[in-house]
Structure 1
Amino acid sequence: MSADERFVTPSFGTVHWPVEIRLKREDKRLEVDFDDGRRFSYPAEFLRVVSPSAEVQGHTPSQKQTVSGRRHVGIMGVEAVGNYAIRILFDDLHDSGIFSWTYLYEIGAEQDRLWAGYLAELAAKGLSRDPIRR
Structure 2
Amino acid sequence: MTAPTELRVSKDRKQLSVTFPGHAPFTFSAEMLRVLSPSAEVQGHSPEQRVTVPGKMHVAISKLEPVGNYAVRITFDDFHDTGIFTWDYFHTLGHEKETRWQSYLDELAEKGLSREK
TM-score (ref. length: structure 2): 0.96
Matched, 1:91 2:81: no
Residue 128 of structure 1: aligned partner? 114
Larger radius of gyration: 1
Instruction: Report the counterpart of residue 72 of structure 1 in structure 2.
Output: 58
Q: Moved runs in structure 1, 4+ residues, more than 6 A?
A: none
- In structure 2, distance between residues paired with 1:49 and 1:25: 21
Secondary structure in 2 aligned to 1:119?
A: helix
How far did 1:36 drift?
Answer: 2.9
Q: Report what 2:88 is aligned to.
A: 102
Question: How far off its partner does 1:39 sit?
Answer: 1.2
When residues 25 and 96 of structure 1 are mapped into structure 2, their CA distance, relative to the original with a 3 A threshold, is: farther
Are 2:7 and 1:21 aligned?
Answer: yes
Partner of 2:102: 116
Mean Cα deviation higher: 25-34 or 67-76? 25-34
**What is the distance in 1 between the residues matched to 2:62 and 2:24?**
25
TM-score where L is the length of structure 1: 0.84
Contact 1:16 1:105 in 2 (8 A): no
Unaligned runs of 5+ in 2: none
Equivalent AA in structure 2 for residue 93 of structure 1: F
Question: CA RMSD for the aligned pairs?
Answer: 1.0
Does structure 1 conserve the Cα–Cα contact (< 8 Å) formed by 2:13 and 2:62? no
Give the share of equivalent positions with the same residue, in percent.
52
In terms of fraction of residues, the more helix-rich structure is: 2
